[in-house]
Amino acid sequence: MLKKFAEGLVFGGGFAISFVAVWYLAAYAITPMFASRIEREANKHLSERGRPAPPSESEAAGAVEPGKPFHELGIDEQIKKSSVIALARYERAPDGRMRAIIREFLKKDPNVTIYYNVGDEYKSSSYYPSARKSYGDGIVIFFTGSPATMRMSMTYSGDRIGGLGDIPLELFRNKCKGTG
């Protein structure tokens, strides 16, 4: 009898765990659908009452512009639309981390507010090295607007920027000077 009771207890426990797991997965998948629907309905009601609907996060950050997304533009157009273009080089910190230190501004429009100076660490691109991945020698960072907001970055190795069709760094530097 005790053996039968234990078997029932194990069966019930397994059933309860399965039920909770299925309930959690269903809630995880369904909740975001309801949340976005509720937000859309709230924005619709706000705009129907004559008040403007609040901007989305990307609109508030100035990311929504007519035309192609920034990363799909050609090099010359990216340079033209950027208010600041910074060049950072990786340097090893005492703790082993590779710090992205801003070395120069290739382009900096006058009257643009940017919260970085030459010599500052751009922490978003600093990393701990891995034997499996190389991050190159440094990064090129494109900022738009004022205050300057990071729009895109890419690594460079040696004197070539791979993300820009392997353009030589010196040619890219000259292109930036030509627009700034």
pLDDT digits (tens, 9 = 90+) for 63-89: 445 678 888 888 899 999 999 999 999
pTM: 0.62
Asked if pLDDT for residue 119 goes beyond 80, the answer is: yes
Task: Give the C-alpha separation, 30 to 27, whole Å.
Answer: 5
Rounded mean pLDDT of 44-49?
Answer: 47
pLDDT averaged over the chain?
80
pLDDT (average), residues 25-49: 57
Eight-class DSSP state of 64: -
Confidence of residue 52 (pLDDT cuts 50, 70, 90): very low
Q: Which residue has the higher pLDDT, 109 or 178?
A: 109
The lowest-confidence range among 3-12, 30-39, 143-152, 163-172 is: 30-39
Could you tell me what percent of the chain has a pLDDT over 70? 74
Q: What is the dihedral of CA 151, 121, 75, 133, to 10 degrees?
A: -100
Token pair 């907001």: residue = 149
CB of 84 within 8 A of CB of 102? no
